[in-house]
Structure 1
């Protein structure tokens, strides 16, 4: 055990926060899984708990492995991973099957372990690393839109357009975070405003095309419209079923909560162990429990900013911000949906909600942040930082 802790490097506060969130997740996941067992009639509560434990165990294995990789290696890895991600997204969109009766054009099934894998989560992490690499390359240079169109914006819009038909919320979050990262990386604001306009125009064209030819591309536009309408029309309780039950759970929890495992609304919320787990947490642990959880996410955000600010390379700073901020942003969106401050999006609560891909990709991002927090010899990183040769040559040279 002592040898294991000696091999754990990086920001100890981040390690502690991630471990505490993961340990706490067992309580609400075990409690909410009874909905799937006794209402839906699938599996057992112990089975879901063991599955969640296995996913977290593999997730921490990812954190441990990734945090050992020197930060500058991710530059070359992003170039290799980007075409792989694009192929996976095309395959995911094309296969268009269903999993447990749900639209599964955002998932692919991993046949060996029998777990569905959401490729958009991997694409989000890889794209943020890729954008951080490009911004580092053009830092302190006069950037023209024409020069950045092919190496930066074409991959960004390819990823977003491949995710958009099946998962609007994830596509919108990725686009927003890319804009934030580009702004922080010093990319010209006038070009960013132009890309925002282009993104809105492309979304409108996609919606019109999908409405005109609905069988051309599988999409969830009707679901998007229904969720937005129910958000703006509180009287539409039929389409606002999940939000209504979530509000009842929150109101029932009060200040102190009803106690662990004593949620009633978990039997009525279809996504009680994933999308609406925050409502179940408040019902069982009260307002104090909900605020405590929010505090830990804010502490994680604070440490992410500290790590980014402390890193000596531009790439390291942008990398930490690019993969770290989306974790907290996703958590805030999940919480906002539960308290009806935001339309239903389908975003899970990082490190808390059940699910394989979301846990693994969050752990991948955490591992990258911890890698950047480790004090290493900077000579190699500075060499790579100033070298503008082919990133694949850089990677092969470092390996």
Structure 2
């Protein structure tokens, strides 16, 4: 055990948070997977648990490997990865396959593994690092809007436009987080206001095009419209999941009905992912729900501890850019389960089942730990991040 801790660097509390969330996720995923087994008729509860454990073990490997990389490499690495993620997003949009009868335009299948990979999650992570890189390199300069349009906002727009048709909620989260990072990074507020306006115009244009050519993007705009309308004026059919989630929460009470004794898990189609927080409250009560919220709050607090100790602008913006979306996503997931927000399809980080969400969350935590483990990086080191040099050093 001492040997393991000897090789683990960075904020020990963040390591502990990962371990606690991983351990706490086993019982809810195992319990909620009965829905998939008995109603969908696929796999076994033990099989889903083993798969979830394997994904978390792989996630630990990702955190460990990433936190060993000096975080300055992520700056130039984002430039290398940007065209790759754009190609992946285009491929994802054009594949047009289905997974389990559902639209799979958000996923691509990993050959020989049988796991779907959500490319938008990877794209969002790369984009955050890219934005942090741009802002840190121009912190001491006067930012010219025309130059920033090509260097910053053109790549951002390209990625968001490719994510939008299949996943509006992820697009919105990434866009909001980018605005937060640019504001913290000192990007002029008047330019941010213009970008917000341009984003709203682009979204309106997309909706009009989608309505004019419904065969090109079937049901996407209608799905968004239905979710918003059903949140304000729910009907019996469309509000089914939300109603079952509310029943689960009401049934839980202060201490819950007990591990594995949830009833609503048999009725919630997304009980292992989107609505797992409702199952946690049903089985472990408000005490269990409060514990989960407290852990995410502690993670948020530790990010600021890391930021306070960081000696570079890029390190600060990197932690904000890749860390805050984890907390934001967790907040949205819990808000959906408690009917405070329309259904979005966002999972609960490190607790919900799903490979892509776990892996990308672990990659982000690895980056944060890399920043917290670094004590000798300087702003000059960060600026010396030529992608060609990084490729050469990697090879």
TM-score in terms of structure 1 length = 0.97
1:344 aligns with 2:343: yes
Task: Tell me what 1:118 maps to.
Answer: 118
Residue 3 of structure 1: how far off its partner (Å) = 1.7
Match of 1:238 in 2: 237
Give 2:278's aligned residue.
Answer: 279
Distance apart, 1:385 and its partner CA? 3.3
SS in 1 for 2:33: helix
Deviations 1:18-68 (A, max 9, x none): 100001100100000011111211110000000001100100000000000
Name the counterpart of 1:392. Answer: 387
Q: In the TM superposition, what whole-angstrom CA distance separates every residue of 1:224-257 from its partner, at most 9, and x where no partner exists?
A: 11111110103x1211111000000000001110
Task: Determine if the alignment matches structure 1 residue 179 to structure 2 residue 179.
Answer: yes
Once the two structures are superposed, residues 193-250 of structure 1 have per-residue CA deviations (whole angstroms, 9 ceiling, x without a partner) of 111111111111101100111122456111111111110103x121111100000000
Map of 1:13 onto structure 2: 13
Deviates further, 209-218 or 348-357: 209-218
**Aligned with residue 383 of structure 1, among 363, 380, 385:** 380
| Mapping 1:56-205, distance limit 5 Å | 56-205=56-205
| Structure 2: gaps (5+ residues) | none
> In 1, Cα distance between the equivalents of 2:141 and 2:109?
44
1:141 Cα shift? Answer: 1.4
The superposition leaves residues 114-139 of structure 1 with CA deviations (integer Å, 9 ceiling, x where unpaired) of 10000001001100000000000110
Question: What RMSD over aligned residues (CA atoms) do the two structures have, in Å?
Answer: 1.2
Deviation at 1:393, TM superposition (A): 4.0
Q: Whole-Å Cα distance in 2 between the matches of residues 91 and 375 of structure 1?
A: 37
Q: Distance in 1 between matches of 2:230 and 2:323?
A: 31
SS at match of 1:257: coil
* 8 Å Cα contact 1:85/1:122 also seen in 2: yes
Q: Does 363-372 or 138-147 show the bigger shift?
A: 138-147
Given that residues 384 and 394 in structure 1 are in contact (C-alpha distance below 8 angstroms), is that contact kept between their aligned partners in structure 2?
A: no
CA contact (8 A) 1:120 1:163 kept: yes
Kindly state the Cα deviation for residue 397 of structure 1 after the two structures are TM-superposed: 6.8
2:216 aligned partner:
216
Q: Is contact 1:165–1:219 with CA below 8 Å preserved after alignment?
A: no
Do the aligned partners of 1:249 and 1:282 also contact (CA within 8 Å) in 2? yes
Residues 128 and 178, structure 1, Cα contact 8 Å, conserved in 2: yes
Q: Which secondary structure state, in structure 2, belongs to the residue aligned with residue 69 of structure 1?
A: coil
Counterparts of 2:221 and 2:112, CA distance in 1: 33
SS of the equivalent of 2:367 reads: helix
Distance 2:383 2:54 in 1: 42
Structure 1 segments unaligned to the other structure (5+ residues): none
Q: Conserved in 2, the CA contact under 8 Å of 1:29 and 1:49? A: yes
- 2:265 maps to 266
Counterpart mapping for 1:273-352 below 5 A = 273-352=272-351
TM-score by length of 2: 0.98
Conserved? CA contact 2:70–2:374, under 8 Å: no
Alignment partners' CA distance in 2, 1:115 and 1:218: 25
Q: How does 1:344-383 map to 2 (within 5 A)?
A: 344-378=343-377, 381-383=378-380
Question: Cα deviations across residues 252-295 of structure 1 (Å, max 9, x unaligned)?
Answer: 00111001101000000000000000000000000111011000
What do residues 333-359 of structure 1 show as CA deviations (whole Å, max 9, x unaligned)?
A: 000000111000000000000000000
The 8 Å contact of residues 166 and 218 in structure 1, kept in 2 or not, is answered as no
Mapped to 2, the partners of 1:393 and 1:271 lie a distance apart of: 44
Runs of 4+, deviation exceeding 2 Å: 216-219, 375-378, 381-387, 393-399
